[in-house]
Amino acid sequence: MSGPSRRLATDQPMERIIDQLVSRLRPLHFGAPVHMVYNPLIYARSAHMAYWRQYGRPPKEILLLGMNPGPWGMVQTGVPFGDTGMVREWLKLTQKVAPPEIQHPKRPVSGLECSRREVSGQRLWSWAKQRFGTPRSFFRRFGVANYCPLSFMDDGGRNITPDKLPVTETVTLFEACDEALVEMVRWLQPEIVVGVGMFATRQARRALSRSRVRIGQITHPSPANPRANAGWSALVEKELSALGIVIGNVSS
């Protein structure tokens, strides 16, 4: 892992972290099977920064770390696990998203007007709403971010997750994402980083190997995951409890 190049000032630190990550990712190119790459940190910047300004105040006890933007979630809204309905109705974020200039015809970006729902985001934010009541109560303890900000798709518009990319193309990508994660953890000061799924957990363990922060893992809420389809909310409660994270009775 390449360590952070400099210690970030605390004025608008997330903006600085994001700008540095965008700068490092901008020159990267990806070969087949990747046909197109979206970066919501660029075209959905205002929405993404509104999310951090509203809900990213440190310290966070727990940082939930996802893999990368889903095609019907953060790709549309700029918010991690950003199912459009939950972003509008629970998080109360209504910023416009300007679509990227070049789009795949099967993966249009329509922002909060996107009618297709992101199941992973629905499950994660619905659990947070059920257990904490209000975003304020949830974000008092939790932060939610993605390890990699890029969304990859093949020529047919099918989603390609970062773990499926050739190793030769992930070295620089992961170095940049590692550095951003290190800086994010330095700012948010979580006691534990919880990978949402195996990939995010593995990346966090490597990137934060020199940090004292604990690393844990919960099951990814994707509908492609059979364990998640058997009742993700109940499952994640057990997994968080096993990590020593007690939710208890929460009031807003």
pTM above 0.75, yes or no: yes
Greatest pairwise CA separation for the chain in angstroms: 50
Tokens of 4: 């952070």
Give DSSP secondary structure letters for 98-162. Answer: ---SS--TTS---GGG--S--HHHHHHHHHHHHHHSSHHHHHTTEEEEES---EEE-TT--EE-G
Residue 92 to residue 178: CA distance in whole angstroms: 30
Per the structure, how many domains does the chain have? 1
- The mean pLDDT of the chain is 93
* 134: in domain: yes
Q: Is residue 22 part of a domain?
A: no
Domain of residue 94: give its range: 28-242
Q: Does the pLDDT of residue 226 top 80, yes or no?
A: yes
Query: What tens digit of pLDDT does each residue of 116-162 get?
Result: 999 999 999 999 999 999 999 999 999 999 999 999 999 999 999 99
Per the domain annotation, does 37 fall within a domain?
yes
Structure tokens at 251: 């009031």
Domain contains 6:
no
Residue 250 lies in a domain: no
126 occurs within a structural domain: yes
Residue 18 forms part of a structural domain: no
Does residue 168 contact residue 103 with C-beta atoms inside 8 Å? no
Task: Write the pLDDT tens digit of every residue in 48-107.
Answer: 999 999 999 999 999 999 999 999 999 999 999 999 999 999 999 999 999 999 999 999
CATH code, domain with 143? 3.40.470.10
Q: What whole-number distance in Å separates Cα of residue 10 and Cα of residue 151?
A: 29
- Start-to-end Cα distance in the chain: 40
82 occurs within a structural domain: yes
Which residues have a Cβ under 8 Å from the Cβ of 21 and sit 6 or more positions away?
41, 149, 176, 177, 179, 180
